[in-house]
Amino acid sequence: MKRRHFVGGLAAAAGIAACGGQSDGSDTSAAGSAQRFDWSMVTSWPPGLPGLGAGATRFAERITRASGGRLNVRVYAAGELVPAFEVFDAVSRGTVEMGHGAAYYHKGKVDAAQFFTSIPFGLNAQEMNGWLYYGGGLELWRELYDPFSLVPFPAGNTGVQMGGWFNREINSPEDLKGLKMRIPGLGGEVLRRAGGTPVTLPGSEIFTSLQTGVIDATEWVGPYNDVAFGLPKAARYYYYPGWQEPGPTLEAIVNKDAWNALPDDLKAIVEIAAQSVNSDMLAEFVHGNTTALMQLKDDPNVEVRAFPADVVELLEGYAEEVIAELVAADPAAAKIHASYAAYRDAAREWQRVSEEAYLGSRG
């Protein structure tokens, strides 16, 4: 969204809060001050999940509190109203007003949406926020979702994820062949080309599938969520980096009719709450991953390992192929990719002399 729109919304929300939610006399506020809305928000996350699920809950709570209860949002975890991968459809149809999940879950339905979560070897969290808020990404996202009667918002980020949990060692590209791995989005297609078998599973089924051998490996998020899921009890080898998800953005989606029914001050509150949880979730994951990784490094039953360089090189080559084919087949993906790739190339130069240079120099 444009900076002036955000700043204007912030001022509007601040004015409402300062006046105790009373109208300032304008037509929009006067009409909206007496209206109350009860919304349902469905999510793709299991009940009680730290980070992802907690972020969705905080988002809803902040909207409800900031609006003085005029916009009350009730949260439903995956499976409580709709399955984890049906959030998009439920909000699009207007069955519920809002959803929280990840855009790459819509692969096969809206393939170009994958750019708005994460693509292999793509933008990290800071770069995603720069592209979405100031580089034209959010406008492209809303243009893509408009035919589905959806208004999307960035609403969380985990930062760079881990490569995943494996029940066998990955010492060379040959070890990827025949590997059954839970991995969504374009990362799954990259694995397929490397000889593996991608499997799509909701979070609630990952632990049992890995423990019982239904899958050989899984990526989920990072130490913070992975420890909460008990994954160290189901696999020994924990690989990095998360080439498949370098900066995954979570999405909040609002049904367009529900959005248009809101007065401007409540729209501003939703926008600001989304941006606040987008920042807050990343901070939570930095802290949670820092603490959980230390726990894993002290666990004698876990080995934290880097993927071999030739494995990463192979995967990056296949990732370029997969993205090129998506762009060639889908005009919407081509338009979004042009903006995304240009931003990535420019950001790479800045990161090289800033974050990368600093981290490389830090003892």
pLDDT of residue 18: 39
Distance CA 256, CA 16 (A): 24
Low-confidence stretches of the chain (pLDDT beneath 70): 1-33
pLDDT of residue 363: 78
Cα–Cα distances in angstroms (integers) from residue 8 to residues 11, 141, 264, 339, in the given order: 5, 21, 11, 26
Residue with tokens 């999307």: 152
Give pTM, 2 decimals. Answer: 0.88
CA 332 to chain centre: 20
Instruction: In the chain, list all ranges with CATH 3.40.190.170.
Output: 3-157+247-286
The pairing of beta strand 164-166 with beta strand 217-218? antiparallel
For the CA atoms of 81, 82, 87, 91, what is the dihedral angle to 10 degrees? -60
pLDDT one-digit tens code per residue, 135-159: 999 999 999 999 999 999 999 999 9
Distance CA 167, CA 238 (A): 9
What is the CATH superfamily name and number for domain 3-157+247-286?
Bacterial extracellular solute-binding protein, family 7 (3.40.190.170)
CB < 8 Å & 24+ apart, contacts of 317-326: 318/190, 318/193, 318/194, 319/119, 319/120, 319/121, 319/186, 319/190, 319/243, 321/193, 322/120, 322/186, 322/189, 322/190, 322/193, 323/119, 323/120, 323/186, 326/111, 326/112, 326/114, 326/186
CATH of 164-244+301-329, one of 3.40.190.10, 3.20.20.80, 3.40.50.2020, 3.40.50.150: 3.40.190.10
Distance CA 53, CA 64 (A): 17
pLDDT of residue 40: 98
Instruction: In the chain, list all ranges with CATH 3.40.190.10.
Output: 164-244+301-329
pLDDT of residue 33: 65
pLDDT one-digit tens code per residue, 195-230: 999 999 988 899 999 999 999 999 999 999 999 999
Q: What are phi and psi of 257, to 5 degrees?
A: -65, -40
